[in-house]
Amino acid sequence: MDYILDVQDIHTFIGQYHILQGVSVRVPRGSITALLGRNGAGKTTTLKSILGLTPPRQGKIMFEGNEIQGMLSFNIASLGIGFVPENRSIFRDLSVEENLKIAERKKGDYAGKKGFIFTLFPDLKRLINLSGINLSGGQQQMLAIARALVADNCLLLIDEPSEGLAPVLIEQLMKAIQQLSAYSTVVLVEQNFLVASQLAEYYVIIEEGRSVKEGKMKDLTNDKATIQHYLGAA
Amino acid sequence: MANHKPFFALKPDRGMLIALLVFILLPFVIGLFDGASPAQVWMNGSGQSKFIQGLAIEIFILALYALSYDLIFGFTGLLSFGHSMFFAVGAYLTGILLKNFGFSLAATFGMIFVASILQALLFGMVLPRVKGITFALVTLGMASVFHVLVLSTELGKFTGSDVGLQGVVVPDFISPATERLRLYFITLTILVVVFMLYKRFVNSTTGRVCTAIRENEGRALMLGYNTFYFKLAALMLSSLTAALAGMMHSIYQPIVSPNVAGLGFTVTALLIILIGGVGTLNGAIIGAVAYRLLDYGLRRYIGESASFINGAVYVLIVLFLPFGIVGTWRMKSLQINQGWKRLLGMFTNSQDKSDGA
Q: Return the CATH number at A51.
A: 3.40.50.300
pLDDT profile of chain A (234 residues), mean per 10: 91 92 93 91 93 92 92 91 83 89 86 86 88 86 87 89 79 83 89 88 93 92 85 68
A 139-158 near B (Cβ less than 8 A): 147, 151
Nearest-Cα distance to chain A for B23, in Å, is 32
The reply to whether A116 falls in a domain is: no
Q: For residue B335, is pLDDT > 80?
A: no
Across chain B, what does the average pLDDT equal? 88
Q: Which domain holds residue A69?
A: 1-80+155-162+187-234
Contact residues for A213 (Cβ-Cβ < 8 A; gap 6+): A203, A204, A205, A226, A230
Helix axes B227-252, B205-222, angle to 10 degrees: 140
Asked if residues A154 and A111 have their Cβ atoms less than 8 Å apart, the reply is: no
Contact B219 A91 (CB under 8 A): yes
Q: Give percent helix, percent strand, percent coil of chain A, each to the nearest 5.
A: 40, 30, 35
SS3 call for A173:
helix
The reply to whether A200 falls in a domain is: yes
Among A174-188, B170-184, B336-350, the range with the most confident prediction by mean pLDDT is B170-184
Which comes out higher in pLDDT, residue B244 or A140? B244
The reply to whether A150 falls in a domain is: no
The reply to whether A64 falls in a domain is: yes
Adjacent-strand bridge partners of B284: none
Nearest-Cα distance to chain B for A234, in Å, is 36
**B256-260 — which CB contacts under 8 Å span 24+ positions?**
B256/B88, B256/B91, B256/B92, B256/B95, B256/B159, B256/B160, B256/B164, B256/B165, B256/B168, B257/B164, B258/B147, B258/B150, B258/B151, B258/B159, B258/B160, B258/B161, B258/B162, B258/B164, B260/B84, B260/B87, B260/B88, B260/B91
> What is the structure's pLDDT at B241?
97
B 149-178 near A (Cβ less than 8 A): none
Q: pLDDT band at residue B355, thresholds of 50, 70 and 90?
A: very low
Q: Is B334 on the interface with A (CB under 8 A)?
A: no
The reply to whether A85 falls in a domain is: no
Chain A residues close to B226, C-beta within 8 Å: 72, 74
Closest CA to B183 of B115, B254, B241: B254
Contact B223 A93 (CB under 8 A): no
> What is the structure's pLDDT at B351?
52
Percentage of residues in chain B having pLDDT higher than 70: 93
Query: For A105, which of B208, B222, B224 is closest by C-beta distance?
Result: B224
State the DSSP code for A228: I
Contact B211 A91 (CB under 8 A): yes
Q: Which residue of B has its CA nearest to A80?
A: B224
Q: For residue B99, is pLDDT > 90?
A: yes
Interface test with B, best of A54, A74, A97 (most B CBs within 10 A): A74
Q: For residue B114, is pLDDT > 60?
A: yes
Contact A89 B211 (CB under 8 A): no
* CATH number attached to the domain at B14-349: 1.10.3470.10
Cα–Cα distance for residue pair B267/B259, rounded to 1 Å: 12
Alpha carbon B40 to its chain centroid, in Å, reads: 31
Percentage of residues in chain A having pLDDT higher than 90: 41
Contact residues for B235 (Cβ-Cβ < 8 A; gap 6+): B72, B78, B120, B123, B124, B127
Q: For residue B345, is pLDDT > 60?
A: yes
Q: Is A161 on the interface with B (CB under 8 A)?
A: no
Q: Is B314 on the interface with A (CB under 8 A)?
A: no
Q: What angle do CA B176, B179, B184 make, to 5 degrees?
A: 70
Contact B224 A78 (CB under 8 A): yes
The dihedral sign for the CA sequence B216, B314, B324, B210: negative
Q: Is B216 on the interface with A (CB under 8 A)?
A: yes
Nearest-Cα distance to chain B for A113, in Å, is 16
Chain A residues close to B224, C-beta within 8 Å: 74, 77-78, 105, 151
- For chain B, what are the domain ranges? 14-349
Task: Please state the φ and ψ torsions of residue A59, each to the nearest 5 degrees.
Answer: 95, 180
Contact A89 B219 (CB under 8 A): yes
SS3 call for A205:
strand
Peptide bond into B254 cis (omega under 30): yes
Instruction: Give Cα separations from A110 to A48, B147, B220 (angstroms).
Output: 26, 48, 17
Summarize pLDDT for A171-204 with one digit per residue, the tens.
Answer: 888 888 888 888 889 999 988 888 889 899 999 9
Q: For residue B3, is pLDDT > 80?
A: no
Out of A118-122, B28-32, B198-202, pick the least confident.
A118-122
Chain A residues close to B227, C-beta within 8 Å: 74
Q: Into how many domains does chain A fold? A: 1
> What is the structure's pLDDT at B350?
54
Contact A73 B225 (CB under 8 A): no
Which comes out higher in pLDDT, residue B306 or B289? B289
Nearest-Cα distance to chain A for B73, in Å, is 15
Mean pLDDT value across residues B14-18: 84
Contact A91 B218 (CB under 8 A): no
> What is the structure's pLDDT at B7?
47
Contact A102 B212 (CB under 8 A): yes
Closest CA to A119 of A200, A178, A179: A179
Nearest-Cα distance to chain B for A83, in Å, is 7
Q: For residue B2, is pLDDT > 60?
A: no
Chain B residues close to A109, C-beta within 8 Å: none
Q: Which residue of A has its CA nearest to B280?
A: A93
Contact residues for A107 (Cβ-Cβ < 8 A; gap 6+): none
> What is the structure's pLDDT at B11?
58
